Amino acid sequence: MQRESFFKNIIKAVGGILSAVAALICLFYIASVPKNGEIYNTELQNTLNVDKIISSKANKDESVYLGGYPIGISISANGLIVLGTSEVKTKDGDAFPLKDADVQAGDILMSVNGESVNSIYQLKLLLKDVKGEVKLKFCRIDREYEVSATPAYDVANMGMRLGLVLKEDVGGVGTMTFVTKGGAFAALGHYISDGETGVCEELVTGKIFKADVEGVIKGTKGKAGGLIADVNRLADPIGLIKENSLIGIYGVSLEKGKGELVKVAREGEAHIGPAKVLTTISGEAKLFDIDVVKVISQGSPQEKGMVVKVSDRELLNATGGIVQGMSGSPILQNGKLIGAITHVLIQDPTRGYAVHAGFMLENALRFEDAVSNEPLSRVEYSVMAA
């Protein structure tokens, strides 16, 4: 009996030890498994090698035509952008048709007497023969409001005016990222906003044009540089902008895809290490050496999916690193497109952010069937009083 009891005690003790070991193993496993959707975006995690792009379309072996060349951008709201109000010079002195109206810079003039207005010229025609009061519809962020005003005759411009300073669109220079085989384009890698008024979400449609880089303003610590480019906005556009989004501008290319055809990196393929950026600082687009120093895990499209550092001596000598106008420049790693430049760090122009190419591809694919049959009009950038 004593012997039996002795063995039973030994078995119980061994069982307890095994149970404890099993519990410890279980706890260790749970602590070691990363949480789903965890975002690694602190500056302390510079060595993290994670690229979790959630995109079913982007996971296909999709090839695109690389960009890397500069483009001129013209994008507008559904109306005229208000820069401010002013007086009207009449034969009896200054008149202020909108003196008591709460019209602010950044508002969008949408219609006059119920008729939509999208150009300065059209507005002048609407006011040409008007007599008495008119009803103006404006949009401010997500709110519409109406104002009544009586136009005054401007003796200097010989026409009826409302005392509004307006512009038709917002212009700028960026870089084409890619054109899909189905004819959609992706560029810039971040949204467009108007520096004068802060208008952003209201900017929805526009055109892109060919551009030629004529020089570079070198970036320095504390001051961003930029490309000096010539854009002929009277020429035929090379694309129609259909969306101004957080991760770039997208739309329909009016030219056949050109350049090298490369595959877009799949989930997990972007990693820390050497890479190339395709950009134009003079003449044709050229590949320059960079390093991917951080890859950020993201479950939804964001502008800052990677941190990159320029290491190419030629590019550093010419630009100081990343400059304005390079946004959208495609980044290649192991022969695949992994992202596009979006931002420069002001305190260190050799470094900047990039967006994941998978997100851009998913956005672009939505516009492959967006074929426009409307005639293309040539609209000159204009800022003038009305």
For the chain, how many residues are written? Answer: 386
Annotated catalytic residue within 312, 329, 343, 356: 312
Least confident range from 24-28, 124-128, 289-293: namely 24-28
- Catalytic annotation on 327? yes
Q: Considering the chain, what percentage of its residues have pLDDT values greater than 90?
A: 56
- Catalytic annotation on 212? no
Q: What is the pLDDT, as a whole number, of residue 266? A: 85
Q: What is the pLDDT, as a whole number, of residue 373? A: 44
- Element holding 16 (H helix, E strand): helix 2-32
Rounded to whole angstroms, the Cα distance separating 354 from 367 reads 22
Rounded to whole angstroms, the Cα distance separating 73 from 183 reads 18
Q: What is the pLDDT, as a whole number, of residue 197? A: 80
pLDDT at 27 over 80: no
Annotated catalytic residue within 194, 327, 343, 356: 327
Q: What is the pLDDT, as a whole number, of residue 156? A: 81
Q: What is the pLDDT, as a whole number, of residue 306? A: 94
pTM for the predicted model, two decimal places: 0.76
Q: CA torsion 158→160→166→169, rounded to 10°?
A: -80
Question: pLDDT tens across 56-67, in order?
Answer: 444 456 999 999
pLDDT at 208 over 90: yes
Average pLDDT of the residues in 254-277: 90
> Higher confidence at residue 267 or residue 25?
267
Q: What is the pLDDT, as a whole number, of residue 33? A: 27
- Element holding 314 (H helix, E strand): helix 313-319
What number of helices (H) and strands (E) belong to the chain?
A: 4, 26
- Element holding 214 (H helix, E strand): strand 205-217
> Higher confidence at residue 289 or residue 47?
289
Question: pLDDT tens across 65-115, in order?
Answer: 999 999 999 998 889 999 999 899 988 888 899 988 889 999 999 999 999
pLDDT at 382 over 80: no
Q: What is the pLDDT, as a whole number, of residue 158? A: 85
Average pLDDT of the residues in 323-343: 96
Annotated catalytic residue within 74, 107, 111, 190: 190
pLDDT at 51 over 80: no
- Catalytic annotation on 356? no
Average pLDDT of the residues in 301-323: 94
pLDDT at 256 over 90: no
Q: What is the pLDDT, as a whole number, of residue 60? A: 57
- Which amino acid, one-letter code, is at 111? S
Q: Domains (ranges, CATH) in the chain?
A: 63-76+170-365 (2.40.10.120), 87-162 (2.30.42.10)
Q: What is the pLDDT, as a whole number, of residue 80? A: 93
Instruction: Indicate the average pLDDT of the chain.
Output: 81
Q: Per-residue b/e over 201-222, b at no fewer than 16 CB within 10 Å?
A: ebbebbbbbbbebeebbebeee
